[in-house]
Structure 1
Amino acid sequence: MARRRLERFWRALIGAASVWALALPATAQAPTVAGLQTLFLLSDARSRSIGPENLTGQPGMGARTELKDGSAKYAAKDLGRGWKVNPYIVIPAGTTFTLGDARGSGVINHIWMTLGGAADYRSAILRIYWDDEATPSVETPAGDFFAAGWGRGAEPVINSQVVAVNPGSGFNSFWQMPFRKRARLTLENRSSKSLTIYYQIDYSQTAVPANAGYFHAQFRTGKADAATGAYTLLDGVRGQGQYVGTYLRHRALSPGWWGEGEVKFYLDGDRDFPTLAGTGEEDYFLGSYSYIKHDPKGPYVETSYSSAYAGFLATQPRNVDADYFKPDGDRRYGEYRWHILDPVRFQHELKVTIQNLGWKGVTAGRILGDGTYLPLHDDLSSVAYWYQAEPHAPFPKLPDDAALTELTKPGTP
């Protein structure tokens, strides 16, 4: 009787997800993934951290850089070893630096970085390789990975469960990333200028369940297909897994509202028609009615927001009445959607698309034009996030550095 009362208490306090752990013997209480529901459980996992002050992550190896070898040797010259001697790494132009190479089984719990120097964020390509794979499971410009695709000076503030972007370009990922043999992270500087990076990779050395999928993130950029009107967020995924997130960088080039397109998930053999179809772009990103807030004494204004699972990030919030009808367009937005509580599960195949759709006959004062749809040709870039069993299919080739960085410059046609 007392045990049943105790179990009811824990269910009410922390949810059923943690109750099963209380029934395990102490030696088995080693949660692979950290979280509020398991935070109080003791574990045999070991905490490790890789960064400039401990490039191997090994025990007792932090802050040991000799003064003569440190990146901040001048700043630390009066204090010496152990006083923030090597807090950052400089990556020369055209080179790739190994951020971390962890061996054994474990889970990356958190990645923090901030990028300095003159190089564009899109010149910094983040790649992550699991175990001994030859092709990366994560390949994306660093800024876009953290839902900040508009470059220096246009970093949004993001307060979400798995991505946080804080003032001063503090990029954080809390995606949980299990590995069984090895985790190798690299950053390529594709620019002609040096790149400075401060970073930290926090991970746990622990056993990984047999049914744990590997984390993936894939970057794409382009326009909607002329024939179908759809932009492909992800395609060619084979194997079992779950889709867990989307970042979309949307550059609207036409007057009027630009977000009527539906997001569609083609699962496990779907061809002409999807299993999951939404009702509009802003609806998928958990907004509504064009993200507009109306002031009865003023104009309609786009309203940015950042929440645990979704956000709309206008680089320059627009007065809809004044700016939506300019012929030159060039309105710049970011949107994110994390499927943390509603992952899209697939058994052997996945494709994800979004239509690029607006309205015909848009004129000043008529944001919806004549009430009929118009396929658009806006500039779109995206990162798709998912877990799956390996191996994964090859990723599309990234555009060259000039093409990628050109899209972040003001006034780019």
Structure 2
Amino acid sequence: MLYQLKKLRSRAATAENKQAEVGAGGKANNGRKGSPCLENVKPGETHVLLDSKGPGMVRHIWCTLPPGNVQHMRNVIIRMYWDDQKQPSVEVPIGDFFGIAHGRQRNLVSDLIYMQEGKGFNCWIPMPFKKAARITIENDSDSDVPLFFYQIDFTLDDEIDEDTGYFHAQFRRANPCPIHEDFTVLDGVKGKGVYLGTVLGVRSLYTESWWGEGEFKFFIDGDTAFPTICGTGAEDYMGSAWGLEPTVTPYQGAPLVENDNGLYSIYRFHVKDPIYFQEDLKITVQQIGFGDTASAKRHYGEEFVHYRAAGTTIESDTSYFERSDDYCSTAYWYQTLPTAPFPKFPNQVQRSDDLLEENNQKVERSDI
């Protein structure tokens, strides 16, 4: 409760106060905004944004960089390490972490992550740590990031008990995901935890039909062939129906819907319906579409497999059918440590191929 006067210490790490020291904020240029950001972050450089001993709680992350650069949004990588674990618990491109796939910047305001006006990136997900917290960014693009502003707000002396989970986030991409295979959002998670949410990006490779009939499946605590939780379709998972229109809500939405070029980014946060697991967790989404059966058969040829669509017969002109599209995802969850090793992080080419560059936007003076 905000009105409870807890014995906590508030701190903030910024470019002017990298160590979040007491009474050391804004000292550059005699306190006249002398060093508000990291400048000219070179390709291959990694910068430490937070390095603090615990116990404590990261409560808010804000950052921004000049807008309109698709390559930077997909190739500036944010990583987080808890309690001196060598392997990161978070490893995600910055744009995907803050809720928009495909390197795009769109207005997104949810309960947990914001891409305010597409330019101000905010994360309100609580991130507790017992011994230490370390957050870094790496420029894994081929060009300088001219300006990177950030502020990480955290507290010290929080009570962290044995039932407290550590925040995790993981990025994956399959371009394309092979036909007849489900896209894996998350796998290999071991331990006790709670699943928090998903950002899913899809680049439709067959735009003459609807891509989103695939079911989200949650395999929990030893599930094998069939999951404990199974949804009814991709747009259904994020609370919509009968296709997608651009929308944002506190817990679910579709901030990016571009039917002409087949780009979609959707999100779903399980704030009020968390998914608990005691031993392990795996999450997949099927690649199933809906549309004209004859056209899909011509498109997919020998790979074509179709099913009766709800409300029709197998002889109908329309049906469900297997697809192959470009999928990416960011999964967010809490779990106990140690973290099972993540899959090998996609390299720059694997992350960036076929992103359909947008025109660069001008940097607003207010960002400087």
Provide TM-score, normalisation by structure 2: 0.86
Residue 82 (str. 1) matches residue 31 (str. 2): yes
Distance in structure 2 (CA, Å) of the matches to 1:184 and 1:370: 56
Match of 1:148, SS state, is coil
Q: Which one-letter code corresponds to 2:108 in the other structure?
A: I
Partner of residue 338 from structure 2, selected from 391, 405, 408: 391
Going from structure 1 to structure 2, the CA distance change for 1:162 and 1:350 (only over 3 Å counts) comes to same
Q: Which has the larger radius of gyration?
A: 1
Q: Which deviations, in whole Å up to 9, do the C-alpha atoms of 1:210-237 show, x marking residues without a partner?
A: 2100000000000576475310000000
Does residue 6 of structure 2 align to residue 43 of structure 1? Answer: yes
SS in 2 for 1:116: coil
The aligned residue for residue 366 of structure 2 is: none
Distance 1:280 1:403 in 2: 27
Distance 1:236-1:122 versus aligned 2 partners, 3 A rule: same
3-state secondary structure, aligned to 1:289: coil
- CA separation of 1:407 and 1:173: change in aligned 2, threshold 3 A: farther
Specify the code of the residue in structure 2 equivalent to 1:115: L
Deviations 1:54-108 (A, max 9, x none): 111111011112x3xxxxxxxxxxxxx2011000102222111111101121110
Task: Give the distance between the partners of 2:274 and 2:248, measured in 1 at CA.
Answer: 20
User: How many residue pairs get matched?
Assistant: 333
Q: Which runs of 5+ in 2 are unaligned?
A: 296-308, 310-315, 359-368
Name 2:164's counterpart in structure 1.
Answer: 212
* 1:123 CA drift (Å): 1.4
Which of the residues 186, 192, 200 maps onto 2:136? 186
CA distance in 2, matches of 1:191, 1:229: 30
- Whole-Å Cα distance in 1 between the matches of residues 268 and 126 of structure 2? 16
The structure-2 alpha-carbon separation of the partners of 1:306 and 1:360, relative to structure 1 and needing over 3 Å to count, comes to closer
Equivalent residue, structure 1, for 2:52: 102
Larger RCO: Structure 1 or Structure 2 (Cα < 8 Å, ≥ 6 residues apart)? 2
> Residue deviations 1:14-43, cap 9 Å, x none?
xxxxxxxxxxxxxxxxxxxxxxxx122111
Query: Cα–Cα, structure 1 residues 44 and 260, in superposed 2: closer, same or farther, change >3 Å?
Result: same
Structure 1: distance between partners of 2:49 and 2:355: 25
Partners of 1:131 and 1:228 lie apart in 2 by 40
| Residues 382-404 of structure 1: CA deviation (Å, up to 9, x unaligned) | 00000000111111112221332
Query: Is the partner of 1:171 in helix, strand or coil?
Result: strand
For residues 271 and 358 of structure 1, what CA distance do their matches in structure 2 show? 24
Structure with greater strand share of residues? 2
**Hey, what does 1:32 align to over in structure 2?**
none
Cα drift, residue 315 of structure 1? 4.5
The one-letter amino acid paired with 2:241 is S
Q: Deviations over 1:275-321 (max 9, x none)?
A: 00001111111111112xxxxxxxxxxx21100100112343x4xxx
User: Which of 133, 137, 141 is the matching residue for 2:93?
Assistant: 141
Q: CA deviation at 1:192?
A: 2.4
2:193 is aligned to 241
Give 1:122's match in structure 2, choosing from 44, 51, 74. 74
* Structure 1 counterpart of 2:349: 402
Q: Secondary structure at 1:198's aligned position in 2?
A: strand
Alignment partners' CA distance in 1, 2:269 and 2:163:
21
| Aligned twin of 1:58 | 21
Q: Corresponding residue for 1:304? A: 246
**For the structure 1 residues 363 and 53, does the alpha-carbon distance in structure 2 shift closer, same or farther, using more than 3 Å as the test?**
farther
Counterpart in the other structure of 2:312: none
Question: Match for residue 35 of structure 1?
Answer: none
Give the deviation of 1:131 after TM superposition: 0.8
Secondary structure of the 1:61 match is coil
| SS of residue in 2 equivalent to 1:84 | coil
CA shift, 1:245, in A, is: 0.4
Q: What is the CA–CA distance in structure 1 between the aligned matches of 2:31 and 2:294, rounded to whole Å?
A: 64
Partner of 1:271: 224
Q: Give runs of aligned pairs for residues 242-257 of structure 1, distance below 5 A.
A: 242-254=194-206, 255-257=208-210
Which of 208, 214, 218 is residue 261 of structure 1 equivalent to? 214
Aligned residue number for residue 232 of structure 1 = 184
For residues 84 and 311 of structure 1, the distance between their equivalents in structure 2, rounded to whole angstroms, comes to 37
Q: Which residue of 1 aligns with 2:152?
A: 201
The letter for the 1-side match of 2:190 is R
Residue equivalent to 1:359: 290
Map Cα deviations across residues 118-161 of structure 1 (whole Å, 9 max, x no partner). 6521110100000110000000101100112232xx31111110
C-alpha root-mean-square deviation of aligned residues, in Å? 2.0
Query: Among the aligned pairs, what percent are the same residue?
Result: 40
Within the candidate set 110, 113, 131, 1:163 is matched to 113
| Structure 1 segments unaligned to the other structure (5+ residues) | 1-37, 68-80, 292-302, 324-329
Classify the secondary structure of the residue corresponding to 2:66.
Answer: strand
TM-score under structure 1 length normalisation: 0.77
Paired residue type of 2:234? E
Structure 1 residue 209, shift from structure 2 partner: 2.3
CA–CA distance in structure 2, aligned partners of residues 406 and 58 of structure 1: 41
- Tell me, in whole angstroms, the C-alpha distance in 1 between the residues paired with 2:140 and 2:129: 27
Letter in 2 for 1:334: S
The 1:84/1:362 distance shift into structure 2, 3 A limit, reads: farther
Q: Give me the whole-angstrom Cα distance separating, in 1, the residues matched to 2:199 and 2:92.
A: 11
